[in-house]
Amino acid sequence: MAIQLLKRHFPVMCKFLVFCGLTAFLLYGCTTVTPPPTPPPTPPGHPKPYKIGKNWYKPLPHARGFSQRGQASWYGRKFHGRKTANGEIYNMYAMTAAHKTLPFGTYLSVCNLKNNRKIEVRINDRGPFARGRILDLSYTAAKKLGMIGPGTAEVKIVALGTIAKPKRPGSTGPSYIPGNYYQGNFTVQIGAFSELENAQRLKQKLGRSYKNAYITICYDGHGTLYRVRVGRFSTLEQANKHEESMIQNGFKDALAIAEDNENTTTPKSCFSGPGRRY
């Protein structure tokens, strides 16, 4: 009985399946495919936009007059010793912070609105990317604000600029000037090594094609770091172009940074110089 019914209705079933297939094909063909998001346009020499998840973030061209109010969080031991977004090594005991768009090297005044404690930190990383949060503080910065236990705090941040050198006569603390993040002393860092021989090997390799490769030395809290750099530039735009050229030539870790102007033979702290990544 079942076989007879199947034979009787088989042609109808075939037509129905063909109809469904054609309908699905037409619907799929007419569906508009959303193109992948592209980075926002960037003026020449300005910081490059970056993408986290599905969102693009465009760093600010400067920090003059910047202030913001919102929730701050902190990050500590899990990230201690890892690279930050500007190429430095994260030090949980330094007075630093992460912000999504402020220029690297910007100094901020941070006020905990609950207990009125105030601190000053330097931006050297990107984040936080949790909803509603505006600042990620180092462990020590968060401790001074009294927010280690709660984990977060409502804060107000105000951009101070960059530290003026030398200090003003009679000044009891650092003075700040609005930062020019696009003119100054820039270079391109190709690599950083704990062994001098590896740094010298890379420098020799660069020396076959580039005349101005050099090594700088710093101390990252665990040991000495030998950083191999090439080129000196007066604008960020020039350094960015050289970075792109180095990457195209096979040096995938090339980073355009602000020059520290440190002594190349005497180690200094890796955390004390600007070393900004743009």
Q: How many CB atoms lie within 10 A of CB 113?
A: 12
Position 275 scores a pLDDT of 41
The pLDDT score that the predictor gives to residue 23 is: 59
For the segment 143-147, the average pLDDT, to the nearest whole number, is 97
Taking 80 as the threshold, does the pLDDT of residue 252 lie above it?
yes
Tell me what pLDDT residue 41 has: 73
Express each pLDDT in 34-88 by its tens digit: 555 677 677 666 778 888 988 889 888 888 878 899 999 999 999 999 999 988 8
Chain region(s) in the chain for CATH 2.40.40.10 = 50-177
Give the rounded percent of residues in the chain with a pLDDT score beyond 70. 70
- Report the alpha-carbon distance of residue 188 to residue 34 in Å, rounded: 37
Among the listed residues 84, 132, 135, the one whose alpha carbon sits nearest the alpha carbon of residue 112: 135
User: pLDDT of 95-115, one tens digit each?
Assistant: 999 999 998 889 999 999 999
Pick the closest to residue 258 from 231, 236, 237 (CA basis): 236
Q: Where in the chain is the domain with CATH 3.30.70.1070?
A: 183-269
Q: Residue 228: CB partners within 8 Å, gap ≥ 6?
A: 189, 190, 191, 192, 193, 199, 202, 203, 206, 213, 214, 215
The residue ranking higher by pLDDT, 152 or 211, is 152
The pTM of the full predicted model, rounded to 2 decimals, is 0.58
Residue 2 has pLDDT above 80, yes or no: no
Please name the fold of domain 183-269: Alpha-Beta Plaits (3.30.70)
Which among 81, 98, 75 has a CA at the least distance from the CA of 225?
A: 81
Residues 6 or more apart whose CB falls under 8 angstroms from that of 26 comprise none
| Lowest mean per-residue pLDDT among 132-141, 149-158, 269-278 | 269-278
Q: Does residue 29 carry a pLDDT above 80?
A: no
CATH fold, domain 50-177, is Barwin-like endoglucanases (2.40.40)
The phi and psi torsions of 70 (rounded to 5 degrees) equal 175, -160
Sorting pLDDT into bands at 50, 70 and 90, what band is 269?
low
Cβ contacts of residue 159 below 8 Å, gap of 6+? 63, 64, 65, 66, 67, 102, 106, 107, 108
pLDDT in tens, 185-242: 788 999 988 899 999 999 999 999 988 899 998 876 667 889 999 998 887 778 888 9
Q: Residue 182 above 90 pLDDT? A: no
- Say how far apart CA 84 and CA 90 lie, in whole Å: 6
Looking at residue 260, its pLDDT comes to 61
